[in-house]
Amino acid sequence: MKDKIQLENFGSLITVKGTDTCLGDLMNFPGHGVFDPNHGRVDVPPQHAGAHNQALDNARLKGMDENCQVGQTGYAYWSGNCVKSFLGTVISYAVKRVGQTVTFHRGLKVFRGRLPKDGEAFNFRRVA
């Protein structure tokens, strides 16, 4: 059985106590709890999951804009005419799709990823 992690910074970006590691995108399943992609079920009250997800979304976008270097990666969702975050925030409308390959721009940066055959979530990498 996995050790229970201690968490802090509820109401904002929730972190693992004593580290610089934050939780990932949290999903609340009423009656079953809140789940993190890396830690499974976590002791996070549902009302704090939304604030955490919004803070994480903002941090990722700020990171893409200010710190992302060529070769660094992330993930996003294809939405027909744009690329969005987990929360549905538009990352870019400057998008080109050829087959399963999605290339998008954010500012002067260029990112590229490949859609799975049956899904809309994809990993991307900064290419320029």
User: How confident is the model at residue 2, as a pLDDT?
Assistant: 58
Instruction: Identify whether 90 is part of a domain.
Output: yes
Domain check: are 54 and 90 in the same one?
Answer: no
Domain check: are 54 and 18 in the same one?
Answer: yes
Instruction: Identify whether 24 is part of a domain.
Output: yes
Instruction: Identify whether 1 is part of a domain.
Output: no
Q: Where are the beta strands (DSSP E) in the chain?
A: 7-8, 15-16, 27-29, 33-36, 40-42, 73-78, 83-84, 90-92, 95-98, 101-106, 109-114, 121-126
Domain check: are 92 and 122 in the same one?
Answer: yes
Domain check: are 77 and 100 in the same one?
Answer: yes
Query: The tokens 């609340």 sit on which residue?
Result: 28
> Looking at 66, 93, 114, which one is the last position of a domain?
66
| Model pLDDT for residues 5-19, shown as the tens digit of each residue | 999 999 999 999 999
User: How confident is the model at residue 62, as a pLDDT?
Assistant: 97
Looking at the structure of the chain, the number of domains it has is: 2
| Model pLDDT for residues 78-112, shown as the tens digit of each residue | 999 999 999 999 999 999 999 999 999 999 999 99
Domain check: are 42 and 80 in the same one?
Answer: no
User: How confident is the model at residue 1, as a pLDDT?
Assistant: 45
What is the pLDDT confidence band of residue 124, given thresholds at 50, 70 and 90? very high
Task: List alpha helices for the chain, DSSP H.
Answer: 46-66
Domain that holds residue 99: 73-126
Domain check: are 60 and 103 in the same one?
Answer: no
Domain check: are 61 and 79 in the same one?
Answer: no
Domain check: are 37 and 87 in the same one?
Answer: no
| Model pLDDT for residues 40-93, shown as the tens digit of each residue | 999 999 999 999 999 999 999 999 999 999 999 999 999 999 999 999 999 999
